Structure 1
């Protein structure tokens, strides 16, 4: 999940006022967490750590979320195990999401060399590689001295993010993608089914298949007292705070309006008009202020109004908390939500959490004809939307071999899968050992034994399997040089529209203008080349 803020800090208030039953449940989960971690540690491949590493230290920069927060959490959790294994240790430096680009790039570019490694967003890969700030890690992948990762198990879309050109640069870790979470009990309640049918003249979709359906459902549950008379209730919870990854919501909402299949025998072929999203691949002209993006932003604005007005100030933890605490009927987010619903002390929805892939659209924009066209059924576009936080090694690292050992160990099936099953880690599923047959080797019992409700686990894993393997198209991932700057502009101006200060069109025009300035600053001819290579455009 890729991500984020400290969920446990957000939930601290619930922990302080928990009942005896909650305390007992939390203690039981703590015991389960420890016992399953011990089993994972024992089973994980360990290679042959170098005795010379004993007493050495390195520094990892990552997302500021604390010892029990997403992405930083597992670094703290596994530290004593690593020290036991190698005799070495490491220091974790936490950086707020909005500051990561500036602090990491300043460190790398200046040669200050504070950070030996970064567990950071994959969208920074273009800047890393173009500036020669990180090293390829191919030599470690088949060296028997290093813990063995199962690289073939990584879903193709995520595997591509770990590589640049012919080389591996990142180690297997997190696999972000946005999906829909919703309350199974509400959607199966005849009372709400009947009322929805009367109001919208069609059956309550379980789950919503299109963004328009999701908007109808969110508006409906925002308008009825499904949580009891006088109790807080929201149709949907979204994380929309500037500087806290809210822009990722918008990207996957826009995807089915923007991304269209190529004509002919290969629907995934990238042409000037098909399977493109960010820019025109011929000249880097931004597409973000065109009609399908306007529709997507108007959709997001309407969704925002079907939830709490506080969503504009919500980071991930607050949005998740509204759903976990039983105030929101739905939550659209990364892969952290079901794992937290099963293990977080304040969750009141364990056993009630359904999940489904990101919705689609019944119409898609024709960029060549400049018009809307009806989709054949529903246009479904999967996503690896998010940071997919993964470890890279600085070219100035003082002991890159030791750093590589740690990152490879974290990427082994046993450790990585343990991380995906425990909500505090922020590590999301994306490998065969996370998925069920026919796509993977995991069993439902693997999740049940980690404390999951059986049906919650089935719905959660199936949502990602369907999105990762069965959706016909994918949202292209942007990671060319300058990507953090492009995304920062997107983030700021989207918020201007969501808050009502400007229209959707005006916000997107501002983004397009900024993107042109960024492209020109980085030299348009170079950016065109990077972009074409990144999306696989060869003409046509």
Structure 2
């Protein structure tokens, strides 16, 4: 009888604790656990510029107030974050505690031993149920070869932006269908993207051009997306010879070059800023770019002085959002928060990462003007607060969710930077006038050299790990 009474009491206690456990919050758990490290300092790596302002203006001071832990921010340009992370680890000084890692670098930082496996910390401090709230494509980012090495803090996906007023214009719709045989609507293929760009340019130039794109700085993202939507694979897995110069590669690169002819004069040298300016000023009818444009075209989040460079919008309430042509947009860059294996404050470093990644804290971050954090949780897309930021925010969030769910991960194997750089130079060469086939053959030859330098067998294993992810190849 006593045994039965004891079991009944234990069951009652577990039942009573059920709601509390269900409501457990990763942010609150991180704060409570971190208080034991009050008075210490953690050094956090942040991308220089708007991104770092999230840590310096908001998260760092808030974390110190909540936990007593000071946050020292090291700002690094994007192109230096990976190299300095590796160099710092090789020096073994423990100069960084909480790291910033782009998913493309994961194979490299893991193979170099430059990141701490996080599974023991998640088991100790985490709330695993919160991982169910992460869009599956972004959840894939966190894991390499079965181990968790980072927590998502920024979910990037390329988006198609288009002028609803021009696409809905009755005269445009009639004329377009008469010429091309299908309805004027957000493009479902890259051929349609080119058709629409040419049609609108022919009608409205020089006042307005049918499309504008980014042709400098980030071209490997745009080629990589088109290449895979055309069915391309990066390597022959048996030989590890590059296949970027395949029929799919030639089709993708030729389209990019040819479609530039229907865009604004000087398009060949446009970067992110030029493209944003043209969209906000009403000079282009369509583009493909990162999520912040969704807010900035509506004049949302640009009242912070750090965003004074963002051009005033003339297209508020005129911009629509769509999943990119092909249906599988690039998950271009994004960031994970990770822990240095050389940190002298690993638990405190991890707890800051868990707090930033958590449901409650991350929702604040993706709505703030600085930081350039973009939604990655299902609760972000469904947030009434986010949906109320502007009249069509709900439509925007639907596109981000759908696009990311079917998105294509950045390449991530050994020496990823070198492969990306070779890809970008090949694309830029073709945009500058070189024969696309020649540019692709040169890229393939350079990729083969890099693979030989890494070691064919070593690279094959890293490639297999990446290629096994659902977001590597969607077809």
TM-score grouping bracket, smaller chain normalisation: 0.7 to 0.9
Counterpart in the other structure of 1:265: none
Hey, what's the Cα distance between the residues in 2 that align with 1:422 and 1:236? 29
Are residues 1:45 and 2:28 paired?
Answer: yes
Q: Which residue of 1 aligns with 2:412?
A: 479
Q: 1:428 to 1:528 in 2, by over 3 A?
A: same
Look up the match of 2:373.
427
Match of 1:452 among 387, 390, 405: 390
Aligned residues of 1:235 and 1:307 also touching (Cα < 8 A): yes
In 2, the alpha carbon distance for the partners of 1:191 and 1:119 equals 50
> What SS does structure 2 have at the residue aligned with 1:328?
coil
Aligned residue for 1:252? 225
1:356 matched residue in structure 2: 322
CA contact (8 A) 1:182 1:330 kept: yes
CA deviation vs aligned residue, 1:466-509 (integer Å, no higher than 9, x gap) = 3344x5xx645421111111111111221111121x11111111
Conserved in 1, the CA contact under 8 Å of 2:297 and 2:316?
yes
Q: Which residue of 1 aligns with 2:180?
A: 201
CA shift for structure 1 position 84: 1.2
Q: Deviations over 1:369-407 (max 9, x none)?
A: xxxxxxxxxxx4x24531121111111112111111111
Against the structure 1 CA distance between its residues 205 and 254, is the aligned structure 2 distance closer, same or farther, given a 3 Å change threshold? farther
- Aligned partner of 2:200 in structure 1 is 221
Aligned mate of 1:58, from 35, 38, 42: 42
SS in structure 1 at match of 2:151: coil
Q: Would the alpha carbon gap of residues 43 and 405 (structure 1) be closer, same or farther in structure 2, given more than 3 Å must change?
A: closer
Instruction: Name the counterpart of 1:280.
Output: 236
Query: Residues 287-307 of structure 1, C-alpha deviation per residue, up to 9 Å, x if partnerless?
Result: 101111111011111233333
| Structure with more of its chain in helix, by fraction | 2
Q: What is the alpha-carbon root mean square deviation over aligned residues? A: 2.6
Which residue of the other structure, out of 158, 174, 181, is the alignment partner of 2:154?
174
Give SS of 1:253's match. helix
Alpha-carbon separation, structure 2, partners of 1:505 and 1:423:
42
SS state at 1:251 partner: helix
Kindly state the Cα deviation for residue 238 of structure 1 after the two structures are TM-superposed.
2.0
Please report how far the alpha carbon of residue 102 of structure 1 lies from its aligned counterpart in structure 2 after TM superposition: 2.9
- Over residues 180-228 of structure 1, what are the superposed CA-to-partner deviations in whole Å (9 max), with x where a residue is unaligned? 1111111111232234345x333443111111111111122233337xx
Residue 78 (structure 2) aligns with: 97
Contact 2:245 2:444 in 1 (8 A): yes
Change in Cα spacing, 1:149 to 1:396, as seen in structure 2 (3 Å) is farther
TM-score of the aligned structures, taking structure 2 as reference length: 0.84
Equivalences for residues 374-389 of structure 1 within 5 A: 380=327, 382-389=328-335
- Structure 1 length normalisation: TM-score? 0.74
In 1, the alpha carbon distance for the partners of 2:219 and 2:62 equals: 34
Change (3 A) 1:383 1:225: closer
1:531 is aligned to: 463
> Matched residue pairs, number?
433
Give the Cα separation in 2 of the matches to 1:393 and 1:430: 20
CA distance in 2, matches of 1:186, 1:112: 57
From 421, 446, 466, the equivalent of 1:514 is 446
The structure with more radius of gyration: 2
Structure 2, unpaired ranges of 5+: 1-24, 304-311, 470-475
